[in-house]
Amino acid sequence: MTFRYQFGAGIDTYQTHNPAQPSEAIGCYGIPDESEVATIIEQANIAQAQWRKVPGLERGEQLNQFLDAIVASADEIAESITLEQGKLLAEARGETLKGCAEGRFMVGEAARMASSPIGTGRPDFSNQILRRPRGVIFCISPWNFPAMTPLRKICPAVAFGNAVVLKPSQFTPAASYLIAEIAQQFFPENLVQIAMVSGRVASNIVATGDVHGVSFTGSVDTGRLVYAAAAQNLIPVQLELGGKNAAILNDSNDLPAAVAQIFGAAMQTSGQRCTAISRVLVHKDLAAETQSLFAEHANKLRLGPGTDRHSQMGPLCNLPHWQGVCSNTANAIADGAVAIAGGVAPDNAGEQGGYFFKPTILANVEHKSTAGQHEIFGPVLSVIEYKYFDQAMHWLNDTEFGLTSALFSNRNDLIQRFLQESDNGMLHVNHGTVPDNNMPFGGIKNSGVGAYSVGPTAANFYTSEHSAYIAW
């Protein structure tokens, strides 16, 4: 069998396939055995001991050079993402460049190290809060953003003087390997390494390995297992988990524009984004027109391979996930939701025709139903009508998740209530759920544990804190 990407060696391998054409083999990746994993971690610790001594300004300069090389290779990385994950080439290139833009911000943080002077309680003393690199960070990356998520972990880690051992998803590893190859040109040998291991081995690394923090992005259930394993090793965690994100659409001077923003935030990457809007809580007076506009958008989207420039939405990433989206959407309809657009996979979709699913708008959704509570993680948007803003705020917060939310309204009193009462880590007013490159990214409740990634507060995870007292 011919593979486009081949990395690593070993008796056991992971193989990847094109989700738009599952019969097409894309990559083959060797799985390291236990002794090789031990060597990877040992080498990471050796490299980190060298790297932590490099001044922050110099680390930042090398990080910038690394990011320049990633930008120069953005098309190659994007192609690997599209072939393994399925998203449009433009989206794949966009995520790569966004990961680089977030990394640029961390260059400045490397110079500051989040250290600061602080007032003293005694004469002839000065106090400082110091921060030091943690050591080796074990990073576990999901399949939906094969470049941006690894970069979101690698950049702050190396900026603050750490080493990285990265476990990519078995469905989309190529981008991580390409990024790690580029890293070898700019950082000490073995500072950024890939460990293409199983979930069981990853759990053992977290629980017993010589690592000093674990950053995980993925599902709530797996996040709980990572958290429990980290407790055995008494290492800090950074968990970015799921969401059932809602937008409240209360009033708007331009309803079509508001709907377009929400629809885009719901359907990018075929809805396979942790920050995707999956619920719209719409005031009853706007419900009929809003549903009609959403259905119009959905029915216009052209499905196709991400490599086809005419495609407007690619396939879902893999067979188990495609099956889950199909069954969860069917369950939502069985609960009483009405598909006013989509609701099913296209004819011939699946293992032969690709993991496509029609962009779906569900009306007549009850708040406590499958469509109102379950993270379907596909191109499925649920519309829930409300009468009073109190009701909308209650439903907004009444899920296990707390990642991101949005409010569309021109009323300042409602905007201030939303900013004070929305139980989510990221809050958006009058726009879709797109984060800036310098802002902390994360959630509360079952959507996240630990310091947020990127932004100035990332130092709280990637460094350890020390109180220093100096007597004169």
3-state DSSP of the chain:
CCCCEEECCCCCEEEEEECCEEEEEEEEEECCCHHHHHHHHHHHHHHHHHHCCCCHHHHHHHHHHHHHHHHHCHHHHHHHHHHHHCCCHHHHHHHHHHHHHHHHHHHHHHHHCCCEEECCCCCCEEEEEEEEECCEEEEECCCCCCCHHHHHHHHHHHHCCCEEEEECCCCCCHHHHHHHHHHCCCCCCCCEEECCCCHHHHHHHHHHCCCCEEEEECCHHHHHHHHHHHHHHCCCEEEECCCCEEEEECCCCCHHHHHHHHHHHHHHHHHCCCCCEEEEEEEHHHHHHHHHHHHHHHHHCCECCCCCCCCCECCCCCHHHHHHHHHHHHHHHHCCCEEEECCCCCCCCECCCECCCCCEEEECCCCCCHHHHCCCCCCEEEEEEECCHHHHHHHHHCCCCCCEEEEECCCHHHHHHHHHHCCCCEEEECCCCCCCCCCCECCCHHHEECCCECCHHHHHHHEEEEEEEEEC
Single-letter amino acid code for the residue at 271: G
Q: What is the pLDDT of residue 145?
A: 98
- pTM for the complete prediction? 0.96
Contact partners, residue 63, CB within 8 Å, separation at least 6:
103, 106, 107, 110, 155, 158, 159, 186
CATH number of 5-241+446-471, picked from 3.40.605.10, 3.30.1180.20, 3.90.850.10, 3.40.50.970: 3.40.605.10
Asked whether the beta carbons of 107 and 64 are under 8 A apart, the reply is yes
Name the least confident of 118-127, 153-162, 225-234, 405-414: 118-127
Q: What is the pLDDT of residue 380?
A: 98
Q: What is the pLDDT of residues 319-366, one digit of tens each?
A: 999 999 999 999 999 999 999 999 999 999 999 999 999 999 999 999
Q: For 371, how many CA atoms within 13 A lie in the half-sphere containing its CB?
A: 29
What Cα–Cα distance (Å) separates residue 73 from each residue in 27, 67, 68, 387?
19, 10, 9, 51
Residue 8 has pLDDT above 90, yes or no: no
Phi first, then psi: what are they for 150, rounded to 5°? -60, -40
Q: What is the pLDDT of residue 461?
A: 97
Task: Spell out the domain ranges in the chain.
Answer: 5-241+446-471, 245-436
Domain at 245-436: CATH code: 3.40.309.10
* Residue 113: closest CA among 32, 57, 188, 49: 57
Q: What is the pLDDT of residue 41?
A: 98
Q: What is the pLDDT of residue 61?
A: 96
Q: Convert 359-394 to b/e letters by CB count within 10 Å (16 or more is b).
A: bbbbbbbebebbbbbbbbbbbbbbbbbbeebeebbe
Q: What is the pLDDT of residue 35?
A: 95
Q: What is the pLDDT of residue 117?
A: 84
Cα gap 452→434, rounded to integer Å:
16
What Cα–Cα distance (Å) separates residue 391 from each residue in 284, 431, 470?
12, 21, 55
Q: What is the pLDDT of residue 10?
A: 72
Q: What is the pLDDT of residue 9?
A: 76
Q: What is the pLDDT of residues 106-145, one digit of tens each?
A: 998 888 877 788 889 899 999 999 999 999 999 999 999 9
First to last CA, the chain: 71
What average pLDDT is seen over the chain?
A: 96
Tell me the mean pLDDT in the region 191-200. 96
Q: What is the pLDDT of residues 233-277, one digit of tens each?
A: 999 999 999 999 999 999 999 999 999 999 999 999 999 999 999
User: How does residue 425 score in pLDDT terms, banded at 50, 70 and 90?
Assistant: very high
